[in-house]
Amino acid sequence: MDRALPRLVVNFKNYSQASGQAGIDLMRIISEKNDGLGLEVGLCVNVLDMKDALREAKGVSVYAQHVDPIGYGSYTGKVNPEYLVEMGVAGSLINHSEDRVGLYTIVKEIESFREMGIISIVCVESLEEARVVADMKPDIIAYEPPELIGGDVSVATASPDLIEKIVREIECPVMVGAGIKTAEDVRVCLELGAYGVLVASGIVKSEEPGKVVSDFLEVIQKNV
Ligand code: G3P
């Protein structure tokens, strides 16, 4: 693995504020804020915008939000990770809470990502699930309590003890996400030992995404 692991991952989901031209504009804003800092930032763009995002990306890495456990062939409607790798994606989320895939697919995708040299970020909802996934040796485990996703109570506020426990017990880098809205949330997650943070609405739906990203990157820079 020669690719650096991201400290900040922004998931664009299917938000209108991050789809089409708006998504490319948001990517530019995030790139500009990271200019000069050089932190590893991953953007999980809408798959329909992948080509444009890869063409425009500077100083950030483009990730998928989901792929299917297939290669080239007769797989109608699936997202082929091999094709994305040829296009230049750095990796993908696997098993996001909004798109759960099951253990068989998780292990298959981790292995194929390893062979292709891209980064696997496997989302888990609990310590128990983190333990099972850790044995599959992903690049990153992302802990996100589903009930907090998209809300205003952050994982940092609601589950600090659990974050600490997962980070202590799980050997691979652990990212944390759900409800992260402020630089203080980011600081707490990193202080508890998280490798980085996974954020969606706190940036994508913000009135001032550039300011939020700047604040988050500043905290990350100070704490890693
Ligand atoms: O993938 C990140 C995401 O699920 C967290 O969403 O809106 O709570 O930051 P949000």
For residue range 22-74, what is the model confidence (pLDDT) as tens digits?
Answer: 999 999 999 999 999 999 999 999 999 999 999 999 999 999 999 999 999 99
What's the burial of 55, exposed, middle or buried (CB within 10 Å: 0-12/13-18/19+)? exposed
CA of 84 from ligand 1 middle (Å) equals 23
CA of 15 from ligand 1 middle (Å) equals 11
Alpha helices (H) in 5-93, listed in sequence order: 21-34, 50-56, 81-87
Regions in the chain scoring below 50 on pLDDT:
none
CA of 180 from ligand 1 middle (Å) equals 7
pLDDT, position 3: 76
pLDDT, position 2: 59
Ligand 1, closest atom to CA 181?
Answer: 9
Q: What is the distance between the alpha carbons of residues 190 and 186, in angstroms, rounded to a whole number?
A: 6
Whether the Cβ atoms of residue 97 and residue 68 lie closer than 8 Å to each other:
no
Ligand 1 pocket, residue 8 CB under 6 Å: no
* Residue 66 bears catalytic tag: no
Whether the Cβ atoms of residue 18 and residue 49 lie closer than 8 Å to each other:
no
The position carrying tokens 């890495």 is: 61
Ligand 1 pocket, residue 185 CB under 6 Å: no
Ligand 1 pocket, residue 42 CB under 6 Å: no
* Catalytic member of 40, 82, 96, 115: 96
Ligand 1 pocket, residue 198 CB under 6 Å: yes
Distances (CA, A) of 139 to 5, 114, 169: 8, 9, 16
**pTM for this model (two decimals):** 0.97
